[in-house]
Amino acid sequence: MLEPTRITLARHAAGYSTLDLARLVQVGESTVRRYETCGAPEALAGQLAGALGCAPGYFHRPPTAGIDVERIFFRTPRRISRAQKTACSALGRTGVELYNLITADYTLPDTEVPDYTGFDPEAAAAQLRLDWNLGCGPVPDLIYVLESRGVRVLSLATGTSFSFWEEGQAFIFLAAGDRAEQRHQLAHELGHLLLHSALGADGHAAAEAEAEQFAARLLLPALSLQARMGDTLQLPQLLDLQELFGVPARIILSHARECGMLGDASYSWLVQELALEPAPRRAPLASRVFSLVFPSLRGEDRLDTARIADTLGVPARTLHELTFGHAFMVLPGLRDAAPRGMPGHLRALS
């Protein structure tokens, strides 16, 4: 029999209700419920996989469940439907299983994210700069900083960022976007992991606002920002600050006004001027872990994207999307031409 929990998880990942799946495989809804309780016949593996967008082997993997939705920190949680949250929960499990596969062969740092429950956002940002030796100026490559502290960062093709703790490790799923926007999202999710993990995702109503304040305080330290703003902020200066701090200009404006560095009139004028500027085109962030691991796997001829996808029972495209594009999708017949890395054991970011 096919593993019932995997049928449920694949359905959640696809965003389907039991009735949706029943219609797709042309059975009654009660039959689908039975499949998800007792398992489905082996002969249905291909049909279910085709309907749910996974590999037939997914239903032979060990029993599991999605990440508990109540433990996931969602960006703008009130705007996300229950079905979308459940789909994120299923994708979160795939991300955890991918990292379990990687850490079976590679040594990665354990998560070293301090617990700042009870700190206000400003104090938490200042303390983290001390604890992680980030200095007083612009934060360097934030994704590298997080990965070097053991945070597992994965990418999303669609949807909004989210984060959670699982098996003692912190995970952040980062939405697509401009480089500066992604840095801000990473800092926001880090704020949740630092400030709210002891409270749970729905621990208190101010969690989103606090994570937002933490992100601004971490990426835009007041003294450093004030020293560079001068008496009157003009648009060229604002764009320079955006480049220097790696933070969207709109966030800089909002934060500067909130901290009393910018008056309401100047803020309104700069918002209007900024709206006339073309959107910046900077490459998105990239993961150091995946950029090291996948070439090494190919170089040692052990696991390419297709084989990892087969092991996890998910489409190769899902791996490609979760790994910032580092899990290459090789066209059939071109596998021998896939780029190879240098052989040898990799100790990534330790």
At 102 the pLDDT is 92
Residue 90 forms part of a structural domain: no
Q: How confident is the model at residue 278 (pLDDT cuts 50, 70, 90)?
A: confident
What does the mean pLDDT of the chain come to?
89
Residue 215 located in a structural domain: no
What band does 17 get if pLDDT is binned at 50, 70 and 90? very high
- Is 301 found in the same domain as 257? no
Q: What is the pLDDT of residues 108-157, one digit of tens each?
A: 999 999 999 999 999 999 999 999 999 999 999 999 999 999 999 999 99
Q: Please spell the DSSP secondary structure of 92-153, one letter per residue.
A: HHHHHHHHHHHHTTS--PPP-----TT--HHHHHHHHHHHTT--SS----HHHHHHHTT-EE
Same domain, 3 and 61: yes
For residue 239, the enclosing domain spans: 222-275
Question: Could you tell me if residue 139 is inside a domain?
Answer: no
In a domain, 303, yes or no: yes
Output the CA torsion sign for 90, 96, 100, 102. positive
Q: Would you place residue 330 in the very low, low, confident or very high pLDDT band (cuts 50, 70, 90)?
A: low
pLDDT of 334 over the 90 cut: no
Residue 112 resides in a domain: no
Number of domains in the chain: 3
Mean pLDDT of 40-56: 96
Q: H-helix or E-strand containing 189? A: helix 179-195
More confident residue, 279 or 345: 279
32-36, 217-221, 282-286: least confident range: 282-286
What is the CATH number for 37?
1.10.260.40
Comparing 86-100, 208-222, 289-303, the range with the smallest average pLDDT is 289-303
Structural domain includes residue 298: yes
Spell out the residues 6+ positions from residue 212 whose beta carbon is closer than 8 angstroms to its own: 188, 191
Q: What integer is the mean pLDDT of 147-174?
A: 96
Q: Are residues 260 and 317 in the same domain?
A: no
Gap between the Cα atoms of 211 and 217, Å rounded: 10
Q: Does 169 fall in a domain?
A: no
> Residue 226: inside a domain, yes or no?
yes
Of the candidates 212, 187, 207, which has an alpha carbon nearest to the alpha carbon of residue 196?
207
Region 56-73: mean pLDDT is: 95
Report the pLDDT averaged over residues 193-206: 75
Structural domain ending residue among the three candidates 13, 32, 65: 65
Check whether residue 2 and residue 52 sit in a common domain.
Answer: yes
